[in-house]
Amino acid sequence: MSRDSRVAWHARWVLPIAHPPLRDGAVVVDGARIVWVGPSEEAEAGRHEQLGEAILMPGLVNAHTHLELTGLRGFLEGLDFRDWLRVLTAVRAQVLSEADLLDAARCGVNEALRAGITTVADCSASGVPLRAMRDAGIRGRLYLETFGPDPRQRDESLRSLREGVARLQRDASPLVTVGVSPHAPYTVSESLYAAVAEYAREERLAVATHVAESAAETAFVRDGTGPFADRLRARDIPVQGTGLSSIAWLERTGLLDSSVLLIHAIHADAADVARVAAHGAHVVHCPISNAKLGQGIAPVRAMREAGIAVALGSDSVASNDAMDLVQEARQAVLLQSLHAAIPDALSASDALTLATQGGARALNMDGLGVLEPGAVADLCAFAIDAPEAAPVYDPTVLLVHVLGAGRRARLTMVDGNVLVRDGVVLGEDPSVRVRVNTAAERVVAWRRATE
């Protein structure tokens, strides 16, 4: 590696995450790797890029999305969780084609890149977001979803999951990999969970599942009652209470281990937190989606104290309504303080750690989420030249609490490739957004016709 091939990116503040903030710092990149981090005046490189009044940090890791739902932003306002899911499922099946879902996913990936997100972990039933991620050059994982609340569906669900994974693996790349996701306890039988756990272990596939998201789910798993139980009984699917929390029940299926990412984990008591920690499973916290749907506040502080790797996720924009991991970090800070009734139960700096290094740990992706020699060159930078951005006592507080929503990245780099400069996704195709808007008109017409 010659000095000439190195590029030094300079900024007023550098946040290495694993080390304290650096004023007037630089990150030197060579190809796809970071080779040096330190004071600006000591940076040695063939080319120097000045980001100016900006915060330069590792690219953000969004550990839970549903990119193919990007076109449904704002469509499901005010519905309770069960109706939200019911309408969402119907519109996806009856109105949106695979081409519509792909366009929506492409818009979602571009939104991620503009927000400084360099890694996305997406759950999808169609699998199409994998193509959107790969074509855009973002890093990511596509967890292919499986459903089957009736134990009699197990073999069929597993067979189509295996086929789907084989098909997607042909499209995978060094940056974008494939995992599996049994959707949730009220859509997946105990025997299907167990079968997927075994399959994932055999094939060394990463696993994610929605769990302990709602009070309705707890009633379903523990008592065999509530809206999810009623819906399954109406379909002649037998339902029995287990007397267990969702997470204890998941443990019984054999799914809890270090490859598993638990999505939400809101309704988790101290015994559940200990269970997750004992199995080395990981959690992705989606505070804005959880607040918006009225689901509750996950015990993130207790999870971190138990040594659990916790990531942040935006969930879909159909329950959020924006993909902005810095706002997610802010919401996490505010909710944890409310939950614990003390200030800074989670500090701004802790929250940025969850949004970067925490995400990398939770996804078992080594060498990202921090700025240090040897880490991958996934970077983002945000301008801090707004009038309210001074004085700066702590750049992490400035970024999380002061700079408002909607800010766009001055730089987003994935694997050494610059994908965003000054808030603009390089090479973005504007026709995709036009088609997503056209699909939204069909969604509205469908609603009028079915009401």
The contact set with Zn ion (CB under 5 A) reads 315
Decide whether 66 or 408 has the Cβ nearer to Zn ion. 66
Decide whether 62 or 245 has the Cβ nearer to Zn ion. 62
Shortest distance in whole angstroms from residue 56 CB to Zn ion: 30
Tokens coding 409: 């990245």
Decide whether 295 or 327 has the Cβ nearer to Zn ion. 295
Shortest distance in whole angstroms from residue 319 CB to Zn ion: 8
Decide whether 157 or 316 has the Cβ nearer to Zn ion. 316
Tokens coding 391: 């004085």
**Rounded Cα gap, residues 254 and 194, in angstroms:** 6
Shortest distance in whole angstroms from residue 431 CB to Zn ion: 28
Decide whether 11 or 247 has the Cβ nearer to Zn ion. 247
- The kind and range of the H/E element at 327 are helix 325-340
Decide whether 62 or 349 has the Cβ nearer to Zn ion. 62
**Rounded Cα gap, residues 268 and 212, in angstroms:** 7
b/e sequence 204-243, b meaning 16+ C-beta within 10 Å? ebbbbbbbbbbebbbbbbbebebbbbebbeeeebebeebe
Decide whether 315 or 350 has the Cβ nearer to Zn ion. 315
Shortest distance in whole angstroms from residue 64 CB to Zn ion: 6
Tokens coding 415: 């694997």
How far out from the chain centre does Cα 246 lie? 21
Task: Point out the residue whose Cβ comes nearest to Zn ion.
Answer: 315
Tokens coding 52: 């100016």
Shortest distance in whole angstroms from residue 298 CB to Zn ion: 14
**Rounded Cα gap, residues 316 and 108, in angstroms:** 9
Shortest distance in whole angstroms from residue 76 CB to Zn ion: 13
b/e sequence 154-185, b meaning 16+ C-beta within 10 Å? beebbeebeebbeebeebbeebbbbbbbbbbb
**Rounded Cα gap, residues 11 and 383, in angstroms:** 9
Shortest distance in whole angstroms from residue 263 CB to Zn ion: 6
**Rounded Cα gap, residues 190 and 209, in angstroms:** 13
Decide whether 145 or 251 has the Cβ nearer to Zn ion. 145
Helix axes 129-136 and 98-114, enclosed angle (nearest 10): 40
Shortest distance in whole angstroms from residue 87 CB to Zn ion: 15
